[in-house]
Amino acid sequence: MGPLERATAAAAARFGTAPAQARALHGGDLSEVLLLTWADGSRVVAKLGPLVAREARMLSVMRDAGAPAPEVLGCDGDVLFLEALSETQATRGAWQALGAGLRRLHAFRGAGYGWAESYAFGTVTIPNAPCPDWPSFWAERRLVPTAEGLPGDIATRVDRLAGRLPELLPRHPRPALLHGDLWTGNALFGPGDAAHFIDPACYFGHAEVDLAMLHLFGQPGRGFSEGYGATEPGIEARRPIYQLWPALVHMRLFGAGYRGLVERCLNAARS
């Protein structure tokens, strides 16, 4: 049974009737996302994948933190049902709302660094077991394991940088709730200057991780900084260290075309 048939059957079982229409939505490279519409005009988003139950738990925690995220309507096996949100072009007010929402997310504090469950981007496992300090977490749960299997010169440079992290990163920053994969494509803007976070990969860590990712494949729009507020001194120096991890993930998933990005991050981190 294909994704459309699985989503339709699961929707009929959960909501009582089968949707009248289904169409694909943009869902990145690693998942199937469908918009289901019923005869009465009601709509639901269905997302299919092996880890959607973990995503559902992440979204629920984000909403508990007061951050804007779609409501979880149910999860049946590998099908997650989410509130369907209207989408429009981003305005300055919407970017400001996104910044304010991210500040609320980051204000939600964890007991330590990590998450109760591991996660994955496709074939790249994301270990989330706790570490006693932040430089250890970034080295042992992010940089070093993600560099495994990449060309030897890249892995060597990553290992060298990992050894220097106690000098480069704060030892015990406040464990903020992170979106974990916050590029501009995972922000959804709607009418009335609304903004929502989608497709999280949550864990607790240094808030600058999300900010670094948001600057990797583009730039946040005007208004974002006003909504988010002040950042910590030294953020620019730490940014390439945090951007290195998603660059390594992309090289693992999509190949040597991302080697230049990895090398730019390493060069900027002077490793």
Catalytic (active-site) positions: 181
Tokens of 263: 């090398």
| Cβ-based neighbours of 86, under 8 Å, separated by 6 or more | 190, 191
Tokens of 20: 């009248």
104 alpha-carbon distance from chain centroid: 16
Best CA proximity match to 217, nearest among 186, 179, 178, 238: 186
Is 204 in contact with 175 (CB distance < 8 Å)?
yes
How would you classify the pairing of strands 187-190 and 43-48? unpaired
- Phi/psi at 182 (5° precision): -90, 75
Q: 144 exposed, middle or buried (CB, 10 Å; 0-12, 13-18, 19+)?
A: middle
46 alpha-carbon distance from chain centroid: 18
Is 177 in contact with 105 (CB distance < 8 Å)?
yes
Is 203 in contact with 178 (CB distance < 8 Å)?
yes
User: Which residue carries 């490793």 as its tokens?
Assistant: 271
Best CA proximity match to 55, nearest among 64, 65, 66, 47: 47
Spatial separation of the C-alpha atoms in residues 118 and 7, rounded to whole Å: 25
